[in-house]
Amino acid sequence: MRLSQYFGRTLRETPNDAEVASHQLLLRAGYVRQTGTGIFTSLHFAKRTLSKIEAILREEMEKIGGQEISMPVVVPADIWKETGRWYKIGSEMGRFSDRNSRDMVLSMTHEEVVADLVRSEVQSYKQLPRLVYHIQTKWRDDPRPRAGLIRVREFTMKDSYSLDANWEGLEQQYQAHYQAYFNIFHRCGLPVISVRSDTGMMGGKLAHEFMYLTPIGEDTLILCDNCGYTANRQVAVFRKEAAQPEPTHLIEKIATPDTKSIDDLSKLLEIPKKKTAKAVFMVATQVEDGQDVNRLVFAVIRGDLDVNETKLSNVVGAKALRPAQDDEIKAIGAVPGYASPMGLNGTLVVADDSIVGSPNLVAGANECGYHLRNVNYGRDFSADIVADIATAEEGCICLHCGKPLRTSRGVEVGNIFQLGTFYSDSLGCAFLDAQGESHPVIMGSYGIGVGRLLASVVEEHHDDSGLCLPVSIAPYQVHLVSIRGAEAEAESLYHLLRANGIEVLFDDRNERPGVKFNDADLIGIPLRVTVSSRALEQGGYEFKLRRSEEKQILARETIVETIQGKINELQEEINRTVQPIVYR
């Protein structure tokens, strides 16, 4: 392709609203343009790169038996109502009515569509297992799009769905995806780790996320360098320090004026935070008979720990959680800042498991300026639910090996879910076994965001001058630069390289050399060949790698062979990163 004909342009200045490197560089290099909040147009460079990523996705899916299909973006709401997700998902779901006043959905994922297909297509165990996938546009009306392609509202995803007759089959397909996903990311030049994660709105019993570790990530990950434990903080577990056994004492009311926080309480009474009970009030939105119902939740946890809202949401079955307002707290007889789990009505009490074995805690007295000493679970109060609702932090102790945990930030670039039979049960997806007995189809769901993957690769592969894309997904393999005075020779070389199957971006513009070299660095194609009078006088063409400052002169007679060899060498570097991964 000739750069003089490119639809788009490079930008000298960084747009003011571009926060992260990938957003800045993809705009400046002429890969993407923002059409609206969280909505982007992919120009030719990006489209070629995204197509190469999609080709890798297809190859790896087909290696594990995937069959590509194409499902619609717009689907009837009826199937979402059958699973109940129409009622459980909030405003991020795109809803509208067609001309006949039927509810419709802009798909954010396709479990319902697949299950609807399964109940019409699969009747016998002989039709299982199966694996279908598609690469399709999605819509999620995210309230906080950010960081360019990292978090958008319209996006393209590879979704695959496994269908099995038994749980062993699901486990096999799940592990096959686990390896395939590492293959995909490594082939794109992106280092990732896998972490256990929350199943969220997808449902199911097990999920993993594939994380690119970067300071720009929104997810906090909990990692153990000793035993390899990894988890998203949303679901991470850790060893809680056990309380020392002691006799239970009688409750004592004590004055604690102007002491609404655990820190203040600990200082006033000169006790460690772990000897206090922290009260956290939330309002949970739950679905009852297809209707949203708000319910006040009183979460109580040991004072040295913090409540994990994802864990809390899961244990109470909440569609959404928000902090309770003071008037909502007072309405049940509790006092903000001095709340106690004792004697409350009209609230769902959830206790962290750290509370159960911690004797003689200091808790609120439900009276302004007062707390209670020696509050004991079981004797003085009980909870509707006891569960782990604590947040793992840097330095917490690993539950598995006893070593300190650390935190890191990450961007989720892929996820896999063992859905089980939730969608099959909801939509009646059943098959007959060899004895003629009916069973639900067991499903798995597996996704990769294509645009987010590209943005993450750019975050990993760039420098101060621009992109440095891996040869496996770069829009072109060679950036050919023509300098004034050598136009005819450059034109000839352009045709020679193309005739030998090499992908070439030809900068034939009437621009100064500095402009062309800056654009070449910005666009980030892995190999650069410069045709100039000076290089011709030295016996050939100037050749360099984008990632290196070293330059050399290559003769015309060897230029094709050398470039093909260097492309193969760069590809082999990537291929060596594709290794068997231990399933965790």
pLDDT per position as a tens digit, 462-505: 999 999 999 999 999 999 999 999 999 999 999 999 999 999 99
Please report which helix (H) or strand (E) contains residue 135, including its range. Answer: strand 130-139
Q: What is the pLDDT of residue 115?
A: 97
Residue 450: Cβ-neighbour burial (10 angstroms; 0-12, 13-18, 19+): buried
For residue 345, pLDDT over 90 is answered with: no
Q: What is the pLDDT of residue 202?
A: 53
pLDDT-above-90 percentage for the chain:
90
pLDDT, average across residues 129-148:
96
Neighbours of 134 (CB within 10 A): 19
Q: What is the pLDDT of residue 562?
A: 96
For residue 416, pLDDT over 60 is answered with: yes
Tell me the β-bridge partners of 208.
196, 416
Q: Which two tokens stand for residue 567?
A: 């492309």
Domain ranges in the chain with CATH number 3.40.50.800: 468-575
Q: What is the pLDDT of residue 330?
A: 92
For residue 15, pLDDT over 90 is answered with: no
Question: What fold, for 15-190+414-459?
Answer: BirA Bifunctional Protein; domain 2 (3.30.930)
What distance in Å separates the CA atoms of residue 112 and residue 208, rounded to the nearest whole number? 21
Integer CA distances (angstroms), 257 to 264, 268, 269, 326, 342, in order: 10, 10, 12, 19, 20
Q: What is the pLDDT of residue 584?
A: 78
Q: How confident is the model at residue 220 (pLDDT cuts 50, 70, 90)?
A: very high
Q: Which amino acid is at 78?
A: D
Q: What is the pLDDT of residue 206?
A: 84
Residue 530: Cβ-neighbour burial (10 angstroms; 0-12, 13-18, 19+): buried
Q: What is the pLDDT of residue 34?
A: 95
The candidate with the shortest Cα–Cα distance to 136, out of 104, 108, 112, 105, is: 108
CATH class of residue range 252-387: alpha beta
For residue 203, pLDDT over 70 is answered with: no
List all residues 6 or more positions away from 179 whose beta carbon is below 8 Å from its beta carbon. Answer: 580, 581, 583
For residue 187, pLDDT over 90 is answered with: yes
- Is the bond preceding residue 129 a cis peptide, omega within 30 degrees? yes
pLDDT-above-70 percentage for the chain:
99
The candidate with the shortest Cα–Cα distance to 297, out of 328, 336, 253, 271, is: 328
Total H helices, total E strands in the chain: 16, 31
What distance in Å separates the CA atoms of residue 154 and residue 140, rounded to the nearest whole number? 6
Q: How confident is the model at residue 12 (pLDDT cuts 50, 70, 90)?
A: very high
Q: Which two tokens stand for residue 319?
A: 């569609």
Average pLDDT over the chain reads 95
Domain ranges in the chain with CATH number 3.30.930.10: 15-190+414-459
Q: What is the pLDDT of residue 197?
A: 84
Domain ranges in the chain with CATH number 3.90.960.10: 252-387
Claim: this prediction has a pTM higher than 0.85 = yes
Q: How confident is the model at residue 17 (pLDDT cuts 50, 70, 90)?
A: confident
What distance in Å separates the CA atoms of residue 244 and residue 241, rounded to the nearest whole number? 9
Which superfamily does CATH assign the domain made up of 468-575 to?
Anticodon-binding domain (3.40.50.800)
Q: DSSP 3-state assignment of 61?
A: helix
For residue 201, pLDDT over 70 is answered with: no
Q: What is the pLDDT of residue 344?
A: 82
373-415: per-residue pLDDT in tens? 999 999 999 999 999 999 999 999 999 999 999 999 999 999 9
Q: What is the pLDDT of residue 105?
A: 97
Please report which helix (H) or strand (E) contains residue 255, including its range. Answer: strand 252-255
Q: What is the pLDDT of residue 88?
A: 85
What's the start-to-end Cα distance of the chain, in Å? 45
pLDDT, average across residues 566-570:
98
What distance in Å separates the CA atoms of residue 579 and residue 237, rounded to the nearest whole number? 29
Integer CA distances (angstroms), 397 to 227, 401, 403, in order: 12, 8, 6
Q: What is the pLDDT of residue 196?
A: 86
Q: What is the pLDDT of residue 24?
A: 97
pLDDT, average across residues 324-338:
92
283-296: per-residue pLDDT in tens? 999 888 778 899 99
501: left (phi over 0), alpha (psi -120 to 50) or beta: left
What distance in Å separates the CA atoms of residue 480 and residue 4, rounded to the nearest whole number? 12
